[in-house]
Amino acid sequence: MNIDTGIIDNIIKDSEKNLKLLEIMYSNINGKPYKHIESEIGYTSSIKEMIIKNINLSKKIRTILYGVKNNTHKYMAFDIIVDNLNNISLLNLL
């Protein structure tokens, strides 16, 4: 496996983990499970598209972060934002 593939695999794993965190937040706040579609970020996206999607997601999560009262949910949202920022930095290395 080359470095580029390793970086992309790591980003996909982070995306899957972050989706689970969002599902937990949603179900805790709304009392019902969240049904989602498959992630749009994957091997078929260009690097530029992946960077833009991570930036946009971070903006949305930041908006959610401001409205969340539960500290656990705040930490989960913060974790997602940090992962996205780290992934953007890694994508810029490709």
Q: Look at residue 12 and tell me if it is in a domain.
A: yes
What digits encode the pLDDT tens for the residues 46-55? 888 889 988 9
Identify the band that residue 4 occupies on the pLDDT scale cut at 50, 70 and 90.
confident
Q: Look at residue 63 and tell me if it is in a domain.
A: yes
What's the mean per-residue pLDDT of the chain? 86
- The residue range of the domain holding 72 is 3-31+41-91
**pTM for this entry:** 0.82
Q: Look at residue 87 and tell me if it is in a domain.
A: yes
Query: For residue 35, how many C-alpha atoms fall within 13 Å in the half-sphere facing its CB?
Result: 0
**Four-CA torsion 93, 38, 68, 64, nearest 10 degrees:** 60
Q: Look at residue 74 and tell me if it is in a domain.
A: yes
Give yes or no for a contact between 91 and 47, defined as CB atoms under 8 angstroms apart: yes
Q: Look at residue 7 and tell me if it is in a domain.
A: yes
Domain count of the fold of the chain? 1
Q: Look at residue 36 and tell me if it is in a domain.
A: no
